[in-house]
Amino acid sequence: MEHPVDLSTWPRAAQYHFFRSYDRPHFAVTSRIDVTDLMVRLKPSGVSPYRASLFAIGAGIHAVPELLMRFRGDRVIRHDAVEMSMTVPTETGSFTYAYVPFDPDFTRFNATAKSLIDAAAKSGNLAANANERDDLCYMSCLPWLDYSSISNAMPGPEDCIPRVSWGKIVENGGRWSMAMTLEVHHALADGAHVGAYFTAVQAALDGL
């Protein structure tokens, strides 16, 4: 389901109109996520750090209404839920995209994500979204790099789908962490919303 946002009462309407005029309206914030419990307790018991990260990202996106908002021309709508679209490596050394619905129950999400990601890897089809839908969140893992910042290729200022990237899990002094980046359209989200996202991601990981 999607719901129209009333621009006459929306508190961010002025900011929305202001940033809609920008040629480069996107901004990205990178923060470190603590994954000590994931690596020390959950991974040895068989939990996939990758799919646990996907789950936490989905929880973070769905915890912040602004990250579920999209504009269509001069209108703004809010989705009840969005699917998670992630890059999936293929056997040929390239990649494809998988599409996974978020489920707040980790056991169900984990099983669905594994099945859909495995199927996408075997298909070999790129399956890229060519602006057919906006009920998505894009995400990409860079397990080779413990990076400090990142930016994504953007088709233009009309693209308002959030992007999430996360990097290599590293250990320091007995604690494990990874870099994570959220890139958003400033017409729909501000720094406070990004901060709320990272708080929800950490809470989801801590609650597994």
CATH, residue 86: 3.30.559.10
pLDDT tens per residue across span 140-187: 999 999 999 998 999 999 999 999 999 999 999 999 999 999 999 999
Residue 63 neighbours by CB under 8 Å, 6+ apart: 196, 197, 200
- 125-130 — which CB contacts under 8 Å span 24+ positions? 125/96, 126/96, 126/97, 127/96, 127/97, 127/98, 127/99, 128/97, 129/85, 129/97
pLDDT computed for residue 125 by the predictor: 79
pLDDT tens per residue across span 101-134: 999 999 999 999 999 999 998 887 778 888 889 9
Backbone angles phi, psi at 69, to 5 degrees: -90, 145
Say which DSSP state 38 is in.
I
Q: Count how many domains the chain has.
A: 1
In sequence order, what are the beta bridge partners of 138? 85, 163
Of all residues in the chain, what percent carry a pLDDT higher than 90?
88
Q: Are strands 136-142 and 83-89 parallel, antiparallel or unpaired?
A: parallel
Backbone angles phi, psi at 207, to 5 degrees: -90, 0
Average predicted confidence (pLDDT) for the chain: 95
The structure's pTM equals: 0.95
- Euclidean distance between CA atoms 148 and 12, whole angstroms: 30
Q: Are strands 163-167 and 69-72 parallel, antiparallel or unpaired?
A: unpaired
Which tokens in the block code for residue 50? 């990758």
pLDDT computed for residue 97 by the predictor: 92
Domain that holds residue 136: 2-206
